[in-house]
Structure 1
Amino acid sequence: MKNFKLLWAFMKGNRLLYLASIISIGFATVFSFMSPLVIRYTIDSVIGGTVMDAPPWVMNIIEAVGGHDTLRQNIWMCSIALVLLAIINGIFTYYKGKWSAVASESIAQNMKDALYDRLQNVSYGYYVKAETGDLIQRCTSDVDTVRRFLAMQFVEVGRAIFMLAMAIGIMFSLDVRMTFIAMSVIPAIFLFSTLYYMKIKESFLECDESEGKLTSILQENLTGVRVVRAFARQPYERDKFDEINLDFRNKVSHLIELLAWYWSFSDLLSMLQMGILLVSGVYWTVSGHMTLGTLVVFTTYEGMLLWPVRQMGRILTDMGKTAVAMGRIKEILDEPLDKDEEEGLKPEIQGNLEFSHVHFQYEDGKEVLRDISFTVNKGQTIAILGPTGSGKSSLMHLLHRLYDYDSGSIKIDGVELRDIDKKWIREKIGIVLQEPFLYSKTIKENLKMAQEEEDEERIYQSARIAYVHDVITGFEKGYDTLVGERGVTLSGGQKQRVAIARALIKDCPIMIFDDSLSAVDTETDAAIRKALRERRKDVTTFIISHRINTLSEADVILVMEDGRITEMGDHEALVAKPGLYRRIWELQNSKEDTLTA
């Protein structure tokens, strides 16, 4: 019920459209049920001459057009009445479809907006445990499941109810015995449809999951096409795709076979119902207990009722699928937001930092940072060295407030980091990651993401500092060159330098380079660091790297092992004493000596 309460909330602003759609289907049902009555009147009264019992308003209409005699002489007027009823029925059916479609699309839009907004504002830790493919499916496939149900089947429930109510009322007024015969098999068909679709809903789910695997294989291969080509794995990948594709084909074929059995058996039940009705109706018509027009009404109504009754099982099954989809959507919407403190401070950031006995652990309970303490003055460059898993990136995550530390203190210009507004501090810290992400846009559009105002000269200047301006202008379309998905058209070093330029545009007082110079050659690395020192002397800079040449010019070097700072000092001090830094320095120097020998 909670899932449908959420759906009801999303329907806000579109409920009147749904009400209008249901009213329209009600009117369409009324006019569709009037057509068989016109045929009955034409057969029994106009052609057969039998006096018909009809409501006073119907007799008034007949008298208005000249009475029975006029209609008998101008029988074409009855066909005109049927055409008019069909037109009116079509108009109401059109508006039913239009209003339900508009409402369902609007609801789907609201749901997607709400999901996207929530995903933009949940904590960083949520994405660490979430699967991208699953989130995409919830925001697309699950929302579309809800949309289809609201657009088509939700209103069809109203149609079925209107049709049953009207048919039973009219048929009982015409002939009670025939009504019981006409309705005798319908409960059995409804029960069979419901049980059958509840039984095969697992097959629907298996087909959906198999299709998801097929889509994942395709997406993975398109994204990693260069790796596939590099290792000549086309035959292997083709065989893997064929296997998943065959599995999908077999499951769909099995589902189609099950549906074929259902429709065949339900057709048998429906024809049995129709046969019983015809045999009984013909017998009573021949014996004079019922008119031919009444028989036509009953057979027509029976045909109109059988289809929605057979569909009710599918509708109920899809209602269950919609409830599941809403539950998956609700899980995202219930995820806590990464909210700022109500009275978060927004101090002027100069770049002075103080870490004091900082401890931090992730949700798994494993402590990744232990008793971290050091001080950074404005404008200093801090280099961090350490093996994989030593806590280097986690330390920067704390500074960027992607996570909050468990104990200890981090102060920026004397203000506790926890007390500073998250959005404010993130705007003041520029970060370049080891694996840069570029959008499938032009180079200029990727660079402009870091600034709100239009300032091309600032873009060009940042690109020059990152030593990528000449590379970009060397392309045929220059800064208007499309970089492709994830920057696939650029080399690793070019992507890295574009990301560095994007970060430099922000003019932040604190900069973090998280192993982001690893993809560029040593000469370019040195040139970029030199340009940074010349232009950004007042910027506090953190550099995570494994290159001693990159680290050696820093004011302070931190060596981290197993979540602790094991060494601290400048290059000369650390080289002079035994430790990890000295071992790496000796190893890299020996390699350089070997290459130059």
Structure 2
Amino acid sequence: MPATHSPMPARAWIVRLARVCWERKTLSIIVIVASVSTILLAALTPLITRQAVNDAIAGDTTHLPLLACGLLLIALFDFIGNYVRRGYAGELSLWVQHTLRSRAFDSIQKLDGAGQDALRTGQVISRTNSDLQQVHTLLQMCPVPLAVLTYYVAGIAVMLWMSPSMTLIVICVLAALAITALRARRRVFAQTGLASDRLAHMTEHMREVLEQISVVKSCVAELRETRWLDGQSRQMVRVRIGAAISQAMPGATMLALPVIGQIVLLCYGGWSVMNGRIDLGTFVAFASFLAMLTGPTRVLASFLVIAQRTQASVERVFALIDTRSRMEDGTESVEGQIIGLDVEKMSFHYDNGNRILNEISFSIHAGETVAVVGASGSGKSTLLMLLARFYDPTSGGVWLNTTTGQQNIRDLKLTALRRRVGVVFEDAFLFAGTVAENIAYGHPQATQDDIRRAADAAGARRPTPAYCAS
């Protein structure tokens, strides 16, 4: 699994994330409907204001109570819509985060031995925690672009109907916003991706140091490790400062553009009213539209910066989900009782090309105890990994002899094979929990008697209560 990567096309990660959101159709539809309907009604506010101003200037106040009631109803619906939108968007973001985390964990567990060798624990922890938190934050804000774009479309349509020349000013502001966001995208992505990779590397090294703290102390390496951590942390701070600086200019520009547009619109609109090109109600409506655009545009600017920063996180998560085992699973089950095992001219080398085993052949019958003797690095552990098919031999093969015949382990389902062929690894490890839970890890339905027999068979002759309590 590579530590770094190139950005996907701009649409690819958005489309893929949207597909995951759409798996929760009900939540997605509620968020979309609440966002669009609320904004469409809010877009009517300047039109009502325009009518009220023109009626007041004409001395006709008969419609003012009705117009005021309309504004109150829009405000009430806006409150309800925002409540629904925020609540369900938060729920949707949590479910999507859960889905992505589950799929990433599932992909990791299905990797073969070579995939596990290439896996860096720090990268996995970083991607399934900090990166997914970035995705959660982005999805909480997912109604923002939908609402703002709806308001842009509805507002521009109404403004074109009222005054095409003044609408051109608004369109120029929106175009400048789009150009600013696009130009900032690649730099922000690069800085954010580099920061995430450095954090993952530091997390991996800290995990190794903490797991082997006794080795660090015995080698009097505490000061060296502290200096290394300080250096890595300083580098990450510099990268994050660079990311903050790269986000500052486009963010400030996107906040300033609507204000500049409002100034231009006020000047041109005032001149148009003075020369009779538009009525005062239209001018007030345009000013209201642009004022209403300023707030959402500020939020959209923040969303775009977050989206650019989150793109690296989304792609890192999807890269983890897309990691696949190069070893194909079999389709057969183990038939009958296993009575032996044959290894015929089996050779194996790792991806680096070093040959570990060379045409090994032997047979083992049920009930036999066989010792494999060799120097460190001679391939003893690798041989066991091949028997349980964590790796596939480079040449030759392994066959199970059963009461119904002989089966190549390549043809067997991995779950079926590993239920019948157990491997005890030389590295000591205990999951958090009791000793009894660790003994029964491969057989969760085991009874207390089963656990006692397994402990006795392993030579763990401690008092029975200790199995359950420690």
Same fold (TM over 0.5): yes
State how far apart, in whole Å, the 2-side matches of 1:402 and 1:214 are. Answer: 29
**Residue of structure 2 equivalent to 1:346:** 335
Give the Å deviation of 1:292: 4.2
Note the C-alpha offset of 1:6.
5.1
* CA–CA distance in structure 1, aligned partners of residues 459 and 113 of structure 2: 31
Q: Within 5 Å, which residues of 2 pair with 1:142-153?
A: 142-153=131-142
* Secondary structure of the structure 2 residue equivalent to 1:372: strand
Instruction: Specify every segment of 5 or more residues in structure 2 that has no aligned partner in the other structure, as ranges.
Output: 1-10
Q: Secondary structure at the match of 1:431?
A: coil
State the distance in 2 between where 1:4 and 1:260 align: 23
The one-letter amino acid of 1:339's match is D
User: Following TM superposition, by how much is the alpha carbon of 1:296 offset from its aligned partner in structure 2, in angstroms?
Assistant: 3.0
**In the alignment, does 2:462 pair up with 1:470?**
yes
The residue aligned with 2:290 is 302
* Counterpart in the other structure of 1:33: 43
Aligned to 2:76: 87
| CA distances 1:469-519 after superposition (whole Å, capped 9, x unpaired) | 43785x7xx6322xxxxxxxxxxxxxxxxxxxxxxxxxxxxxxxxxxxxxx
Q: Which amino acid aligns with 2:242?
A: H
Cα-to-partner distance string for 1:58-89 (whole Å, 9 max, x where unaligned): xxxxxxxxxx3474xxx6x7655434322211
Q: Is the 8 A contact 2:138 2:303 kept in 1?
A: no
Question: Which of structures 1 and 2 has the bigger CA Rg?
Answer: 1
- 1:324-362 Cα distance to aligned partner (Å, 9 max, x none): 346514532x4456512x234422023x34444433334
Instruction: Give, as a single letter, the amino acid of the residue that structure 1 aligns with 2:85.
Output: K
Give the superposition deviation at 1:143: 4.7
Alpha-carbon distance in 2 for matches of 1:335, 1:399: 18
Contact (CA 8 Å) 1:122, 1:338: kept in 2 or not?
A: no
Cα distance in 2, alignment partners of residues 267 and 420 from structure 1 = 61
**How far does the alpha carbon of each residue in 1:144-177 deviate from its partner, in whole angstroms, 9 at most, with x for none?**
5555444424x43322331121111222233333
Q: Which has the higher contact order (CA 8 A, sep 6+)?
A: 2
Shift of the alpha carbon at 1:203?
2.2
Give CA-to-partner distance per residue, 1:364-405, whole Å, 9 cap, x none.
444322233334343232222110122222222232233344
Work out whether residues 32 and 146 of structure 2, in 8 Å CA contact, stay in contact via their aligned partners in 1. Answer: yes
* Counterpart residue type for residue 34 of structure 2: S
Report the equivalent of 1:328.
319
How far is the alpha carbon of 1:442 from its aligned partner? 1.8
TM alignment of 1:274-289, pairs within 5 A: 274-286=262-274, 289=277
**Separation of aligned partners in 2, 1:90 and 1:152:** 17
Matched, 1:172 2:151: no
Unpaired stretches in structure 1, ≥5 consecutive residues: 52-67, 482-597
- 2:59 and 2:165 map into 1 onto residues whose CA distance is 21
Report the residue type matching 1:324 in the other structure: E
SS in structure 2 opposite 1:102? helix
Name the CA distance, whole Å, in 2 between partners of 1:172 and 1:392: 78
Whole-angstrom CA distance in 2 between matches of 1:400 and 1:360: 14
Identity %, equivalent residues:
20
Query: TM-score, normalised on structure 2?
Result: 0.82
* Structure 1 length-normalised TM: 0.66
Q: Tell whether 2:369 aligns with 1:390.
A: no
Counterparts of 1:149-164 in structure 2, within 5 Å, are 149-153=138-142, 155-164=143-152
Alpha-carbon displacement from aligned partner over 1:83-114 (angstroms, at most 9, x marks no partner): 43222112222323333333343333333333
Change (3 A) 1:466 1:282: same
Read off the aligned partner of 1:433 and give its amino acid letter. Answer: F
- Structure 1 vs Structure 2 CA RMSD: 3.4
Q: Retained in 1: the 8 A contact 2:341–2:363?
A: yes
Amino acid at match of 2:95: S
What's the counterpart of residue 28 of structure 2? 18
- What amino acid is the match of 1:97? R
Match of 2:4 in 1: none
User: Any residues of structure 2 matched to 1:112-261 within 5 Å, and which?
Assistant: 112-153=101-142, 155-261=143-249
Other-structure match for 1:400: 388
Cα distance in 1 between the residues matched to 2:71 and 2:104: 49
User: Matched residue of 2:245: which SS?
Assistant: helix
Give the conservation status (yes or no) of the 8 Å contact 1:195–1:313. Answer: no
